[in-house]
Structure 1
């Protein structure tokens, strides 16, 4: 007989699944104590870490100033002095101390815990972060402006380019950097040139500067490069003009977006030099200066001090620039006074010329760091240059500031209170 094929009996799908789960469950063990907790059934909060708030840390710092040291009492949730350390029970090895925020501690204090004493926070003297910064600033000697000093940066608080948070520190650094590259009396070491030849060169460079329509920063940096190079190396008379155009070429590359080319300076000098000579002199100047071109010139301080001369207008700004450029042409000013003092004296002489009362304010003294007595000698020298400008043969600066675009400030009468007769 043919045997019949017996079909396997199908079982419900859920049964196999349950059996498999049962086998797996018997093979696995539940994780127990891994050794970092001590179970105390009498206290359900025994395993919670003890927390130290920020105010408690501040109390530690305050006690440290009084030559007392506080240690945390993790049992009572408080602090004890160092001389009471024997009386305070030591924390168990399994207890963990966690520093938590004050807000988190306040939420936990609202929970009704038995046997817990709430501390009176009003009796805790906490030193804030701002008070620490104020104490450090006072210790560093930073003077706070008085009521008579105007905050000249208040209108620029939303201007990111003004850098109002750092502007005071920037100008403190500028004044410290003046001593790194001073211009000494170098004419005694120059056998072939003198102060008059330098004035002729500067007068010609002013015309070149106007011809190329360069920035004011370029002019002041050019003069700085010329004076620093002449104080390091003796230059023949026939190469003095070459030093001038090479210095302006360097300053243009540093300050200008579109600097004039070497051929432009060769043409402006009436082909007195060839292109290779300019390039060689440029390399010589940079080598002697060790490529140190980021220096505080008088223009850096003029921008800041004109802003401090409130109220300031276009006439005031042009008068300050006229006196500053006029003084830079004279060797005695550059060799005797620092750039910041030249800028501050130009503002003082300009206010005196325009009869702005008072001639020197608390705001100007605060931002410049100079008093009226300190600036008087340099300002009198500038006023004497202003008086002699109409009769001087070197008239490039005088003609520049006689134009209506410069408010014709050169045609105004010099300051009487700073004149030689007074």
Structure 2
């Protein structure tokens, strides 16, 4: 009995070991891979896939069009062929074939595979247009064309098309092409701050002729010092603004010009002339202390407001708009502009942008540039010919009277070869 109990005990232990080993070899129930599908006895383990929806669809289309597919006249015998592999019958195909049985009997039998493409024969009717190849204009393009036609932008001559004058400066970071239009809009909004009105009635000891003599002398000083053009235009602006705010005696008028040019040079030049240079060029008429006191007085009256749009900033833009531009055209424009700034009437009557645009217009007329005023100039200046005509007549009259005038600084400056001797060009007679 004891031995039997021992054998039973060993048998149980062995059975438990076999169960544990089987548990270790058994895969986790959560593993999807341990689910084995049952295989039908009558089917192979790896059956050939016969589900060919594209083939059946093609066959159904052919049957519907009256073309039978392999297999004789009985629609029950119709089968689908795909790369030589026989598939199962499709009930929808059989039904469609039965409906079209009479038509299929009269047409030849055609064998098809999925690699063949049968195009339907063209009938007498036009086929449906392909929208991808549609050549008709879209509704938006038609409206845009009508809008341009209404604005008169389509049938304009080639020379009246607005040119993009900033196209060549796209890669130039200093040109600020993205902001240049906004910059000049701001200049036009603020140019009134730097413009002066008729101030001579308030001056008791000087007149407009003395002012013209001073400006003529400053043009000569500017040329001898070889300064930047911006310095001259800012100097004239400072002189006029100061004279419009303070009554100046005759003996200090030249001192106002010296102090104004000293300030303008410090603002515009890289290497500004020193105070002693201005004292020497004014023939020691004033000492150092007087020049520095005048500089302080001017800055105090103007409240250090020196960033103003002078005619020069507009001249640069408007000359560029005069397409095509050339050195002769540029020199003639600056010549007429400086002639205008020398005279008091021009400065107090017209704003800087009008003076600049009128100088360009007068230069084109003098040099026989046709047309005198283009759509490009009208676009970038914002002025029409009628708006500039009075100022242009004034500039042309200064040019015509230059031979009899005693103020020769501007004439000498632009009669030099480096300025293209534009001062020698005959003035315009009719405008």
User: Does 2:163 correspond to 1:174?
Assistant: no
Residue 179 of structure 1: CA displacement? 1.8
User: Does 2:227 correspond to 1:225?
Assistant: no
Unaligned runs of 5+ in 1: 1-143
Residue 402 of structure 1: CA displacement? 1.1
2:74 match = none
User: Does 2:252 correspond to 1:239?
Assistant: yes
Q: Distance in 1 between matches of 2:393 and 2:325?
A: 22
User: Does 2:375 correspond to 1:368?
Assistant: no
The partner residue of 1:303 within 316, 322, 336 is 316
2:89 match = none
Q: Distance in 2 between matches of 1:182 and 1:353?
A: 27
SS state at 1:391 partner: coil
Q: Note if contact 1:301-1:339 (Cα within 8 Å) is conserved in structure 2.
A: yes
Unaligned runs of 5+ in 2: 1-152
Q: Distance in 2 between matches of 1:300 and 1:188?
A: 30
* 1:118-148, Cα deviation, whole Å (9 max, x unpaired): xxxxxxxxxxxxxxxxxxxxxxxxxx99981
- TM-score w.r.t. the length of structure 2 is 0.63
1:251 match = 264
Q: Note if contact 1:218-1:252 (Cα within 8 Å) is conserved in structure 2.
A: yes
* 1:172-213, Cα deviation, whole Å (9 max, x unpaired): 000000122321100000000000000110111111101111
Q: Distance in 1 between matches of 2:415 and 2:194?
A: 33
* 1:366-415, Cα deviation, whole Å (9 max, x unpaired): 00000000001000100000001111111010111111211111111112
Q: Note if contact 2:231-2:264 (Cα within 8 Å) is conserved in structure 1.
A: yes
Q: Note if contact 2:194-2:309 (Cα within 8 Å) is conserved in structure 1.
A: no
2:358 match = 345
Q: Note if contact 1:352-1:417 (Cα within 8 Å) is conserved in structure 2.
A: no
2:334 match = 321
Q: Note if contact 2:239-2:260 (Cα within 8 Å) is conserved in structure 1.
A: yes
2:165 match = 152
User: Does 2:416 correspond to 1:403?
Assistant: yes
Q: Distance in 2 between matches of 1:312 and 1:191?
A: 45
Q: Distance in 2 between matches of 1:166 and 1:159?
A: 13
Q: Distance in 2 between matches of 1:371 and 1:245?
A: 38
Q: Distance in 1 between matches of 2:186 and 2:223?
A: 31
Q: Distance in 2 between matches of 1:415 and 1:394?
A: 20
Q: Note if contact 1:246-1:278 (Cα within 8 Å) is conserved in structure 2.
A: yes
Q: Distance in 2 between matches of 1:243 and 1:296?
A: 21
Residue 417 of structure 1: CA displacement? 3.1
User: Does 2:231 correspond to 1:208?
Assistant: no
Higher helix share: 2
Residue 214 of structure 1: CA displacement? 0.4
The partner residue of 1:390 within 378, 400, 403 is 403
Q: Which has the larger radius of gyration?
A: 2
1:354 match = 367
Number of residue equivalences: 275
